[in-house]
Amino acid sequence: MNSPFKPDSIWSIAIHGGAGVISSTMAQEVKQQYYDSLKEALNIGVTILKIGGNATDAVEAVVRYFEDCDLFNAGKGSVFTREGKHEMDASIMNNTLKCGAVSGVTCIKNPITLARKVMDESEHVHMTGIGAERFADEVKVEKATQEYFFTERRFAQLKAAQGIKEVTLDHCKSDVNLNDPQAQVKGTVGCVARDMHGRMCAGTSTGGMTNKRPGRVGDSPIIGAGTYCNHLCAISATGKGEEFIRNVVGHDIAAIMEYTGASLLDASKTVVHKKLKPGDGGIIGCDKDGNTVLVFNSTGMFRGCADSNGKYDVKIWKDS
């Protein structure tokens, strides 16, 4: 077995919980809930990495926390489809190019864990709908009833979106908790990490869009779009899913690094600020040397990062 420590003992982690137009005038108690939740998620990953744990374990644990926290649009906090149901997506990938994804699952308590099972215990990369749910039974991944995923806040969002006949993103026009009718946050959660063995991993999970058509799939479970990891970097995205798919954002950042020698930061800025449109969203990433980036083109992104050099930061707005 490998030693849990490399000579350089480098580790790093970055997290996100959605990007978009986030009002700085939200109620202080709501703001504090988000900060506290981001810190708790970050601390879960830090605890694993600082003792030499595996990057994949850290990513899964962090995303599971987000999925269990109904502040974020994933797992328990997932938004409703136009039929009043929940369809969740998730994916995970490590630097050996092993990956797993699920989409359109309706009863999986933690979709990120099922995505990891697809990666580790199947011959496939991506499973959908009932097939993914049957696989969950085989590998003993916990399920939950529709009542578990029901929250009054998300149901109110659905009714508001249906009232204006609009498909909306998380924390949108109906988000009463942000006390701002113009708040628009692209609700996805994600984590990237680099551990002391130099292993990297990226994971992303989402409940999609309020009032979306049943069967709609965004970028979160699409390897190369919302999630990507190779020998150079790990990327997790949050934003307008269709745009991140069209621009193959995760893979594009890695390709720019590989073909031009650009740094993770420069490659990320090129894609987010020059290829995507203002307001589309953002990405988090880490590279093989332990550097982290959090780049977005919206007014804010729920985010945090930490590393073995003592960095520890949780932010929401650009100027915070």
Instruction: Tell me the catalytic residues.
Output: 188
Cα 117 from chain centroid?
18
Other Cβ atoms less than 10 A from the Cβ of 98: the count is: 15
Residues 6+ apart with CB under 8 A from 194: 10, 11, 12, 13, 55, 200, 234, 286, 287, 288, 290
Q: Are 18 and 171 in contact (CB under 8 A)?
A: yes
Other Cβ atoms less than 10 A from the Cβ of 4: the count is: 13
The DSSP letter of residue 277 is P
Q: Are 192 and 286 in contact (CB under 8 A)?
A: yes
Query: Whole-angstrom Cα distance, residue 137 to residue 5?
Result: 36
For the chain, the C-alpha Rg in angstroms (whole number) is: 18
Q: Are 239 and 19 in contact (CB under 8 A)?
A: yes
Query: Whole-angstrom Cα distance, residue 31 to residue 52?
Result: 33
Q: In the structure encoding, which two tokens stand for residue 315, read together?
A: 């932010």
Residues making up the chain, counted from first to last:
320
Query: Whole-angstrom Cα distance, residue 215 to residue 87?
Result: 8
Other Cβ atoms less than 10 A from the Cβ of 142: the count is: 11
- Single-letter amino acid code for the residue at 294: L
Query: Whole-angstrom Cα distance, residue 12 to residue 10?
Result: 7
Query: Whole-angstrom Cα distance, residue 193 to residue 87?
Result: 27
Q: In the structure encoding, which two tokens stand for residue 127, read together?
A: 């499973």
